[in-house]
Amino acid sequence: MLKFIIKKLLFMIPMLIVISALVFFGMELTGTDPINYMVSPDMAANAANIEALRESLGLNDPAFIRYFRWLGDILQGKFGYSIINGQSILDILKSRLPATFELAFGSLILSTILGIGLGLLAAIKQNSIVDYLARIVGVIGVSVPQFFFGIVVLMIFAVRLDLLPIGGRIPPGSTGFVSRIPNLILPMFTMAISMTATLLRYTRNSMLDVMNKDYIKTARSKGIPEWKVYLKHAFRNALRPTLVILAFRLPMLIGGSVVIESVFSWPGIGSTILGAVSAGDYPVIMITTMLIAASILAASFLVDVITAALDPRVRLD
């Protein structure tokens, strides 16, 4: 197992390098010039000032030189600075990541409870009204875009009913977490919808598949209570694909928060990425993209390890 883990970890290094190169040179192909977002109209009229600024930022160097310079700085732990406002990228991450993690983990917990609970109930009550309603929820949650849900709940609960804040993370004058809960409810619920639907469908299908196995019939023939058959024998064996989905969804929650954070004015890493892309702030784009890529690769690594530990058929060499 140790050899398997080391092999998987080493494989992540070239993957990160390839991803970084794709993102960097992809940004080059867009033709976005960050200088346009940095200078005033008066300064833009002076070509000499523009050229001097471009030279000082190293933007006149060939793309491959700038890429390897950036890669060398990363290996030294130097994340660099935003070329738009000069702020340290490390400081940006420190201020923005906690908000995104708060939203992502809250959505993960809520969707896990609802998705697994409803999926389990739908499987137990197969072809009942509960099952039909759960399947409708699953289809709607997967089909309808998150931003549409966000706009709808925002209009209903924040604008029409005035029950919850319209946006932001921290109410004016508050410091504790409890006072932030009303601001968290709508974006957390919106982000959890699609994952709840996915978990619901996987849990239901896995449970129905397991319920047809011979060992479930044997357990029932022994007179074991029905609730114990469902929870101890069926659910435990149906949980493996659900765990895989959970491991993969967390980095997707972090990376997929761009739209949700924009709709609810949530000051997280998603809105930071959106602003950086709009302004062509490639140092910020590179670091935030690599952060998301690393989290996805880490999730993939976790899935491989969990699968290898739970399934003896997986080869570890």
The DSSP letter of residue 126 is: T
At 88, is the secondary structure helix, strand, or coil?
strand
pLDDT at 87: 83
| Alpha carbons 52 and 22: distance in angstroms, whole number | 29
pLDDT at 142: 82
265 phi and psi, to 5 degrees? 50, 45
Torsion angle (degrees, nearest 10) of CA 216, 244, 199, 258: 180
* Of the candidates 110, 299, 109, 139, the residue with the CA atom closest to the CA atom of residue 204: 139
| pLDDT one digit per residue (tens) for the chain, 317 residues | 677 777 777 888 888 888 888 888 887 777 666 666 666 666 655 677 677 777 777 777 788 888 888 888 888 878 888 877 778 888 888 888 888 888 888 888 888 899 888 888 888 888 889 889 988 888 888 888 888 888 898 899 988 888 888 878 877 767 677 778 888 889 888 888 888 888 888 888 888 888 877 777 777 777 777 777 777 777 777 777 777 777 667 666 666 677 788 888 888 887 788 888 777 777 888 888 888 888 778 877 777 777 666 655 555 55
| Alpha carbons 56 and 138: distance in angstroms, whole number | 53
Question: For the domain bounded by 89-310, which CATH number is listed?
Answer: 1.10.3720.10
Domain range annotation of the chain: 89-310
CB–CB of 139/194 below 8 Å? no
Q: Mark 129-140 as b/e (b = at least 16 C-beta within 10 Å).
A: eebeebbebbee
pLDDT at 33: 66
